A and B are shown apart, each in its own frame.
Chain A
Amino acid sequence: MTHILNSDMLPFCKGCGHSLIAKSTEKALENMKLEALQVISVTDIGCHGIIDKSLNTHTVHGLHGRSAALGAGIALGIPEKAQKIIVFIGDGGATIGLQHIMEAARLNLDMTVIIHNNFLYGMTGGQTSGLTPTGFVTTTSAEGNPWNSYDLCSMAYDAGASYVARVTGMGDISETLEKAFRVQGFSMVEVMEICPSYGLKLNPKRKFSDIVASSGKELKEWVRQRPPFPSSQGKKVDNLFDSLPKIPKDFQSTLDKPLSIILSGSAGEGVQLAAGIISKAAIRSRLFATQKGSYPVTVGVGFSTAEINLSPEEIYFHGIGVPDIAIITSQDGLEHSKKRVEAMKQGTLYIDSSLPIPSTKANIVQYNFRESNPRDASLLSIFYFAKKTNIVPVDALIVTLEEEGKSSKSLLEKIEKI
């Protein structure tokens, strides 16, 4: 059996609790009869991270504070849970990467996070961290830390962790670590320690037990029974194109040059649906088409505008400045497209009879698109346009409408009346 650690000489300062964590981790894993390569150790930047080189396990050493997310990615990549994933992180890393820990706990990913809480940022010079107890002296709080600290354990448990424990880094903590490693799901152990280089020197007359007590954090376990993250996903399609209709070329358009259309109305009145119907009907009439929508971020209210290009030749540039055709079916639509309509020097404006006519040089055609049911206004307007111009055959529109399951007796009656 290969030992978890490749040396008895660990790279930490004399008296540092990180050594105890490493040795207790080894003891716990070996007690579980785990081979070194059945373990994936994830570390990051901070004094704790230099354990990386002393490990015989697989090792992944990432960015400061991100090891919980990196470990989570590994857990997500090994759904069969064949290996034990252990994340080593410091107190500074735990706060910069707080979201990563909470997310892994929420999802109950099968991994263990060990927080090396030595109450300060050791690698960068002993500064106060989010886990520094109130009153604890650091290089950036000479009078003692005036602020409170996070209760990381309660937070992780509340987020959904299966097992959480807080211990002090004294004696042998392998029993607690083994409990955490044996959990099927997310487990976390916070180990409180004193940094011998900064914490001990700056707080010389204080007992460790007093400092732990002053933090106000309980040394205890939090346990719940909860199934680990399910690896199975919902049913997937094996081809994204299969769900789209193939469009036959079974009609013929009379269009002999590019034509740009804007269709502008209100949300909930079928603007984008109508644009899709006329675009597909145009394609089956042997035209090329492009279609794009524009609407407010609150998609259920206000204007809804569609831009459509039709052409007998392939369309590359699909932007529409001033359109050839504007079809306006509501006040929202008019307000949104008014400037473009006013800029029209030719072409045709189809506008609902209830709306004021904007100042434009386009030909104006009025029709009561909104009569009886405004929800059909956009669909009715494209049929009106087709009947008046024959650019897209009305029959192509009707067939497309039926194929999309959007045909109705009342709509067909209104189309008939045009």
Chain B
Amino acid sequence: MQDANNLMLLDGSRIIIEAMARAGADSFIGYPITPANLLYQYAGQRMPVMLPAPDEITTLQWMSGMSVTGRLPITATSFPGFALMVESINMAYMMELPMVIILVQRLGPATGTATCGAQGDLSLLRGMISGGHPTPVLCTSSMEDCWTLSAKAVEIAVKLRTPVILLTSKEEVMTQKSFDLSVLSEIVPVVRKYYASAEPYQSYKPQGLVPEFLPVTQTMHQVRITASTHNQKGILQNTDEESMANTRRLEEKIRVSLPDYTFYEYTPKQGAKNLIVSFGITAEAAKDAQSQLTKKGIPVSLLIPKTLLPTPSIYLEIMEKYESVVIAEENINNQFSDMIYGLKKPKNHKFIGGLGKMITPQQIQEGIKS
């Protein structure tokens, strides 16, 4: 992106697919679903391999098979398709297979309204893996995020040998915006490092917390990949010590590595007593609310969490610095706040929700003033 003026009218879908391709994703498997169709379309043009699966279970299974061979697959879907994928995401998680799933949120429950945006899937993502193991979830809040976080999602998937979710929503991937590509930084493709020793390979013997990867395409070492409880060799076991240590490690590798992929934007304002916390599509309204309040002489700080899961503790630390906190997200049950506070929500906490339409900067401003 060396051009000084690289101004275009484009949507976030295009940026996401280009970023993932540059980061090293080489295959897209998918099943069409609104509002993820632009991602599907662009992937067909850009990804070295693009395959239409007959349903979303097959999608994740094909992706897993490809990942076993050393390819780096991605897909894009919305809740109805994602729901079908969940068991297979658990499989890929247990097998420790790198891949990225782009989840474009739309209005539910069930089929809901395909052409209406929403932010209602965070709670689902939080409990998606049986056992409560966390999956890295990065959430875009801007066109720049579509670039940076997409590349990071691919990188984390490889480094941690895990499925990663890129969370976005209809309005972010379908609306076209004027955007200068010159602001985007260079993406360095992720390097795949494979097990290189002559010693017998064990698919789940950790180096640090993440086992070294070896595809099944070579004939030097036996590779054993499994979704059942297993020992370090990848052989099915019951609940013996080694296997339970392996199951614990799956949780640990995601949690312990969190500082490496903690992304957020914090814009404190001098003298501010109020903090707005918002992410995804609503963060755009929050930015406007912050600047409009500042113009009116009311300093307000803004926190935009981008790594949503596992939830970095820094968010709570920032929130505790303020007299009042307004959390804005486009759902009716305060999913982010629930994650942070649970049932014991502090009295200085206010929730701005939305259903069926985008939360406006005015709504957030009114929340601050009240």
Interface pick from A50-58, A122-130, A147-155, A383-391: A50-58
The answer to whether B54 and A77 touch across the interface, beta carbons within 8 angstroms, is no
The answer to whether A240 and B61 touch across the interface, beta carbons within 8 angstroms, is no
Is B69 interfacial (CB 8 A cutoff)? yes
The answer to whether A292 and B174 touch across the interface, beta carbons within 8 angstroms, is yes
Give the CA-CA distance A245 to B177 in the complex, in Å.
14
Is A9 interfacial (CB 8 A cutoff)? no
Give the CA-CA distance A236 to B217 in the complex, in Å.
25
* Beyond A72-B58, A283-B178, 13 additional pairs, beta carbon < 8 A: A42-B65, A52-B226, A61-B224, A62-B95, A69-B62, A72-B61, A76-B65, A276-B176, A279-B178, A280-B9, A289-B178, A290-B175, A291-B177
The answer to whether B45 and A35 touch across the interface, beta carbons within 8 angstroms, is no
Is B164 interfacial (CB 8 A cutoff)? no
Is B262 interfacial (CB 8 A cutoff)? no
Chain B residues within 8 Å of A245, by CB: 8
Chain A residues within 8 Å of B17, by CB: 240
The answer to whether A74 and B216 touch across the interface, beta carbons within 8 angstroms, is yes
Is A78 interfacial (CB 8 A cutoff)? yes
Interface pick from B250-258, B283-291, B312-320: B283-291
Q: Which of A236-282 contact B (CB under 8 A)?
A: 236-241, 244-249, 276, 279-280, 282
Give the CA-CA distance A37 to B223 in the complex, in Å.
9
Nearest chain B residue, comparing its CB with the CB of A308: B176
Q: Which of A53, A58, A237, A241 contacts B223 (CB 8 A)?
A: A58
Is B125 interfacial (CB 8 A cutoff)? no
A206-238 vs B, CB cutoff 8 Å, 1 = contact: the mask equals 000000000000000000000000000100111
Is A142 interfacial (CB 8 A cutoff)? no
**A interface vs B, CB < 8 Å?**
35-38, 40, 42, 45, 50, 52-53, 56-63, 66, 69-78, 82-83, 99-100, 103, 233, 236-241, 244-249, 276, 279-280, 282-283, 287-292, 294, 297, 315-319, 321
The answer to whether B177 and A236 touch across the interface, beta carbons within 8 angstroms, is no
Q: How many residues on chain B are close to A (CB under 8 Å)?
A: 75
Is B227 interfacial (CB 8 A cutoff)? yes
Q: Which of B23-79 contact A (CB under 8 A)?
A: 27, 29, 34, 42, 45-51, 53-55, 57-58, 61-71
Chain B residues within 8 Å of A294, by CB: 115
Nearest chain B residue, comparing its CB with the CB of A279: B9
With A60-B225, A290-B178 in contact, do A74 and B69 touch (Cβ < 8 Å)?
yes
Chain B residues within 8 Å of A288, by CB: 177-178
Nearest chain A residue, comparing its CB with the CB of B63: A73
Highest count of chain A CB atoms <10 Å: which of B29, B217, B218: B217
Say how far A29's CB is from chain B's closest CB, in angstroms: 14
Nearest chain A residue, comparing its CB with the CB of B172: A318
Q: Which of B87-123 contact A (CB under 8 A)?
A: 87-88, 91, 95, 114-115
The answer to whether B216 and A316 touch across the interface, beta carbons within 8 angstroms, is no
Could you give 22 example pairs across A and B, Cβ below 8 Å?
A40-B216, A52-B226, A58-B223, A60-B225, A61-B224, A72-B61, A73-B67, A74-B68, A76-B49, A77-B66, A77-B70, A100-B61, A233-B48, A238-B46, A240-B14, A244-B10, A247-B178, A249-B7, A283-B178, A297-B114, A317-B287, A319-B171
Is B234 interfacial (CB 8 A cutoff)? yes
B220-254 vs A, CB cutoff 8 Å, 1 = contact: the mask equals 11111111100000111000000000000000000
With A37-B219, A62-B227 in contact, do A241 and B65 touch (Cβ < 8 Å)?
no
Q: Which of B63, B176, B219 contacts A35 (CB 8 A)?
A: B219
Give the CA-CA distance A240 to B146 in the complex, in Å.
14
With A236-B48, A290-B177 in contact, do A63 and B62 touch (Cβ < 8 Å)?
no
The answer to whether B57 and A69 touch across the interface, beta carbons within 8 angstroms, is yes
The answer to whether B87 and A63 touch across the interface, beta carbons within 8 angstroms, is yes
Say how far A334's CB is from chain B's closest CB, in angstroms: 21
Give the CA-CA distance A294 to B67 in the complex, in Å.
37
Kindly list the 7 A-B residue pairs having the minimum CB-CB distance in the complex, ordered from nearest: A73-B65, A77-B69, A69-B61, A73-B62, A77-B66, A61-B226, A37-B219
Give the CA-CA distance A251 to B175 in the complex, in Å.
24
Highest count of chain A CB atoms <10 Å: which of B61, B69, B175, B357: B61
Chain A residues within 8 Å of B177, by CB: 288-291, 315, 318
The answer to whether A246 and B175 touch across the interface, beta carbons within 8 angstroms, is no
The answer to whether A72 and B358 touch across the interface, beta carbons within 8 angstroms, is no
Nearest chain B residue, comparing its CB with the CB of A68: B61
Give the CA-CA distance A76 to B7 in the complex, in Å.
38
With A237-B45, A240-B45 in contact, do A103 and B8 touch (Cβ < 8 Å)?
no
Chain B residues within 8 Å of A316, by CB: 284-285, 287-288
Chain B residues within 8 Å of A52, by CB: 224, 226, 235-236
Chain A residues within 8 Å of B71, by CB: 77
The answer to whether B91 and A63 touch across the interface, beta carbons within 8 angstroms, is yes
Give the CA-CA distance A244 to B27 in the complex, in Å.
23
Highest count of chain A CB atoms <10 Å: which of B95, B222, B358, B360: B222
Nearest chain A residue, comparing its CB with the CB of B237: A53
Highest count of chain A CB atoms <10 Å: which of B62, B63, B71: B62
Nearest chain B residue, comparing its CB with the CB of A284: B7
Chain A residues within 8 Å of B287, by CB: 316-317
Is B145 interfacial (CB 8 A cutoff)? no
Is B280 interfacial (CB 8 A cutoff)? no
With A240-B14, A276-B9 in contact, do A319 and B65 touch (Cβ < 8 Å)?
no
Give the CA-CA distance A297 to B48 in the complex, in Å.
30
The answer to whether A319 and B357 touch across the interface, beta carbons within 8 angstroms, is yes
Chain B residues within 8 Å of A240, by CB: 14, 17-18, 21, 42, 45-46
Chain A residues within 8 Å of B6, by CB: 241, 246
Give the CA-CA distance A246 to B5 in the complex, in Å.
8
The answer to whether A58 and B181 touch across the interface, beta carbons within 8 angstroms, is no
Give the CA-CA distance A245 to B198 in the complex, in Å.
52
The answer to whether B176 and A321 touch across the interface, beta carbons within 8 angstroms, is no
Give the CA-CA distance A390 to B105 in the complex, in Å.
38
With A69-B62, A317-B361 in contact, do A59 and B46 touch (Cβ < 8 Å)?
no
The answer to whether B224 and A58 touch across the interface, beta carbons within 8 angstroms, is yes
The answer to whether A99 and B58 touch across the interface, beta carbons within 8 angstroms, is yes
Say how far A249's CB is from chain B's closest CB, in angstroms: 7
B135-152 vs A, CB cutoff 8 Å, 1 = contact: the mask equals 000000000000000000
Say how far B247's CB is from chain A's closest CB, in angstroms: 16
Give the CA-CA distance A59 to B224 in the complex, in Å.
5
Give the CA-CA distance A178 to B178 in the complex, in Å.
60
The answer to whether A241 and B66 touch across the interface, beta carbons within 8 angstroms, is no
